[in-house]
Amino acid sequence: MSRRSVNPSRRVADGGLPSVGGLLHPKSRSPPVLTIALVVLGVIILIAYFNSGSGVTVTSREAVSRSEGSCTPEVMQALPYLKKAYGNELHKVLHVGPDSCTVVSNLLKEGKVEAWGVEPYDLEDTDSSCKSLVRKGFVRMADIKFPLPYRQDSFNLVIVSDALDYLTPRYLNRTLPDLARISTDGLVIFAGNPGQQKAKVSELPKFGRPAKLRSSSWWSRYFIQTGLRENEGPLKKFEQAASKNKYKPDCQIFHLSS
């Protein structure tokens, strides 16, 4: 029996995507495994490229809270001085950042304080107390790159920690004005201190990238550009109370009003 010759063009269709060498030499064909590997590598590179422009570089709440220099524990240390600084204004409070359950839980113990929280990262592996706060609506997950689901002037005070440091300026331009929108009496921002805080090298793979720790002068210029000004009254009371108790925060703390 005579053997039918194989059309070279059909070999390409049967073997998947042709390699560069196959395009130059039609008789050669790259191994299917190598072809698949090249396709997978290309997909990974594309995903990495598009993600590089995202506003938030941290996706894990655990990674933020366990990293060296986290500012959320600083919120708990500063809480007694915030009470003295804001007094009656510490009535309806929103905390934005990781471990919002802890902050909200402590604020609710005050009795006179109504507190809510926004968790910008995952809420996996939380304890029963945190799950209860989420179930009751006191704490919710939300992407802070987009407007929060609250009306204007919903809270007296908005406290932010371990959130803005992970936003690129592109998204910071949207998030900060939105936080000011929902606050009537003030906005308190806890930001990383470039001189004292550095992420552990072992933690970097969990972060994807370390936080962008900006200087106080950078923040001051940015606040002015955004239309925010220093909230002088509460700032002076906060500094007096902190100085009296020799409290020196490791994080930068900004008191702002719109």
Q: What is the per-residue pLDDT across 177-187, written as a single tens digit (0 to 9) for each?
A: 999 999 999 99
pLDDT band for position 25 (50/70/90)? very low
Q: If we measure between CA atoms, which residue out of 49, 257, 78, 73 comes closest to residue 158? A: 257
pLDDT band at 164 (very low <50, low <70, confident <90, very high): very high
* Chain segment 227-244, per-residue pLDDT in tens: 999 999 999 999 999 999
The C-alpha atoms of residue 230 and residue 218 are separated, in whole angstroms, by: 14
Please determine, for residue 68, whether its predicted confidence score (pLDDT) is greater than 70: no
* pLDDT for the residue numbered 126: 78
Task: Provide the residue ranges of all domains of the chain, joining segments of one domain with +.
Answer: 8-51, 61-257
Q: What's the whole-model pTM score?
A: 0.71
Q: Residues 154, 181: contact at Cβ < 8 Å?
A: no
Task: Extract the runs of DSSP E, i.e. beta strands, from 125-248.
Answer: 139-141, 155-161, 183-191, 229-230
Residue 2 has pLDDT above 60, yes or no: no
What dotted CATH number matches 61-257?
Answer: 3.40.50.150
pLDDT at 45: 62
Q: What is the pLDDT of residue 44?
A: 64
**What are the residues facing 141 on neighbouring strands?**
119
pLDDT at 209 over 80: no
pLDDT tens for 134-145 read 999 999 999 999
Phi, psi of 26 (to 5 degrees): -60, -25
3-state secondary structure of 52: coil
Residue 37, phi-psi category: left (phi > 0), alpha (psi -120 to 50), beta (remainder): alpha
Does pLDDT of 6 surpass 50? no
pLDDT digits (tens, 9 = 90+) for 69-97: 589 999 999 999 999 999 888 899 999 99
Res. 63 pLDDT band, cuts 50 70 90? very low
